[in-house]
Amino acid sequence: MDGETSPLIARRQEETSGSYLPLSIYLLSICTFFLAGSSSFLNIPLTRLIEDNLCRRHDWQGAPIDEGRCKTDDIQSTLAYLNGSLPLVEAIVGLVAAFPFAVLADRIGRKPIILLATAGSILSLLWELSVLGFERVMPVQLILVGPIFNVVGGGSTVLVANLYSMVSDMVASTDRASAFFLMGFASLAGASVGPAMSSGLMEIVSPWTSALVGFFAMLIGPGMLVFIPDTFHPSKQDPSLESDLAGVEETNRNTFQSHIIQSIRLLRGSLSLLYSPSIVLVLATFLTRMLEILATSQFLGQYVSKRFHWPLAKTGYLITIRGIIHMVVLLVVLPLLSNVLLRWQPPAVKDLTLARISAALVAIGAMAMASSKVELVVLGLVVESLGPGLSPLCRSLATSFVASQDTSKLNTIIGIVETIGSLFAGPVLAWLFELGMKRGGLLLGLPYFGLAGSFLLCLVGLFFVQSPQRGMYASDF
């Protein structure tokens, strides 16, 4: 009896905890800003450094090679595959490491795992910069070894899962969507400021200067965690899972086998959350997240540079325009629409309605971005930028399907789904880009036709989602 009622009691306690965002949410948002900003700061200069490396291998000279000579189909195809393979390797590492570090987070807390994941990312970047710096000694393909360092901490999958778990722990369910919007806004703010500053430095100084500044900016974000208390408490843990893990620890303490068994048990417990087709359809939308991120960040720079003969440094400003629109939508438009819709719809239904609108806007914008006219590409980018709410809305919607003590497991599953999407996102974009270059003309925009198709599938799936009934959670089944 207690097992049947405790999730509902926990959820009611959470919903009556008050309607406000604590200071820690804003500090987490600042941390997210610097992590996202440093990552976006690095995208364009690293792409230019890799392109220059490939160009030198085709036409080795002591002096710098003019960027215009590096836009041949062969070099651009290799560049696309290298940039696409980096997230693939990172995704594989994330799939292997995610659940062991999720288990560890339930032992030592969220903050240490976030710091470990950041340390792994720093080691990965150091390796990539070393390969590019010692170009005469190390082949550029060795940059693909870099993401393997994310085995320290589990990489971005674990980092994001723990950041959002901390947010879920801090706020009531009625404020969760607002907290997720704030986190999304902070991420987009960093992703908007980064490319413009990076492009400016590239034009004034060099890609190497931008890359090094981005590296040091990556160290600032985790420093904010010093001011944030860890939200993990043993009482939040699933009692049945805690019992299972305790038995494993008694017999296999501090062994590799213990971590594997714990991961399998956690995976089994997490899969119990997938009790209805609706939550599965909501989680499926996260498969497209990495595809959209890549298509509208460093790949967008390469695409515009190749198609319209722009220097890579200037393409960073396009990414900044997109980010500014995203910030306005997340900070102003979506909260206003949320408040209006809440007058007629419950929170979960409101999230579903806005998610459908967001998916439609991304699909329409991506179609226009496939155009051979730069004006239509920019217009398409603007329309696509109006749909940034899909991920936080679907995360909030998915959370409404589960009990409060299951949010950590849910966020881990979301991270795993996003990682699975990362497995094909980069290679698919690179393959479509290579195929488009061979066909020429309008088909050079094949990557964005593919992006539009994926979000149309998301939209169709969301129309089959039924909002959860009040008080019904996975643990009740």
| Structural tokens at position 212 | 């090094």
pLDDT at position 155 is 80
| Structural tokens at position 476 | 């009740």
355-383 residue pLDDT tens: 999 999 999 999 999 998 989 999 999 99
**Mean pLDDT, the chain, integer:** 79
pLDDT at position 9 is 32
Lowest-confidence range among 21-35, 175-189, 228-242, 324-338? 228-242
The residue behind tokens 């974000």 is 221
Lowest-confidence range among 1-10, 97-106, 161-170, 219-228? 1-10
The residue behind tokens 């997109």 is 322
Domain boundaries along the sequence of the chain:
21-225+274-469
Best CA proximity match to 360, nearest among 462, 432, 283, 290: 462
Compute the average pLDDT of residues 231-250. Answer: 49
* Contact status, residue 222 vs residue 114, Cβ threshold 8 Å: yes
pLDDT at position 10 is 39
The CA distance from 215 to 207, in Å, is 12
As a whole-number percent, the residues of the chain with pLDDT over 90 amount to 18
330 burial level (CB within 10 Å; 0-12, 13-18, 19+): buried
Q: Is the pLDDT at 240 greater than 50, yes or no?
A: no
Compute the average pLDDT of residues 350-359. Answer: 90
Q: What is the dihedral of CA 442, 447, 449, 454, to 10 degrees?
A: 170
Cα atoms in the Cβ-side hemisphere of radius 13 Å centred on 287: 17
| Structural tokens at position 468 | 């959860």
pTM over 0.95: no
Best CA proximity match to 474, nearest among 406, 418, 396, 408: 406
Q: Is the pLDDT at 235 greater than 50, yes or no?
A: no
* Contact status, residue 190 vs residue 33, Cβ threshold 8 Å: yes
* Contact status, residue 118 vs residue 124, Cβ threshold 8 Å: no
pLDDT at position 421 is 86
The CA distance from 38 to 33, in Å, is 8
111-148 residue pLDDT tens: 888 888 888 989 999 999 999 988 888 899 999 999 99
* Contact status, residue 179 vs residue 171, Cβ threshold 8 Å: yes
Residue 272's pLDDT band, with cuts at 50, 70 and 90, is low
Write 320-323 long-range contacts (CB < 8 A, 24+): 320/192, 320/193, 320/195, 320/196, 320/199, 321/378, 321/381, 321/382, 321/385, 322/192, 322/296, 322/381, 322/382, 322/384, 322/385, 323/40, 323/188, 323/189, 323/191, 323/192, 323/193, 323/195, 323/385
Cα atoms in the Cβ-side hemisphere of radius 13 Å centred on 243: 2
Residues making up the chain, counted from first to last: 477
pLDDT at position 92 is 85
Q: What is the dihedral of CA 97, 216, 297, 136, to 10 degrees?
A: -90
pLDDT at position 432 is 93
pLDDT at position 401 is 79
Lowest-confidence range among 93-107, 110-124, 411-425, 441-455? 93-107
CATH of 21-225+274-469, one of 1.10.1740.10, 1.20.1250.20, 3.20.20.70, 1.20.120.330: 1.20.1250.20
Q: Is the pLDDT at 321 greater than 90, yes or no?
A: no
pLDDT at position 67 is 76
Residue 255's pLDDT band, with cuts at 50, 70 and 90, is very low
Residue 2's pLDDT band, with cuts at 50, 70 and 90, is very low
The CA distance from 291 to 288, in Å, is 5
Residue 217's pLDDT band, with cuts at 50, 70 and 90, is confident
Compute the average pLDDT of residues 29-41. Answer: 87
Q: What are phi and psi of 264, to 5 degrees?
A: -65, -40
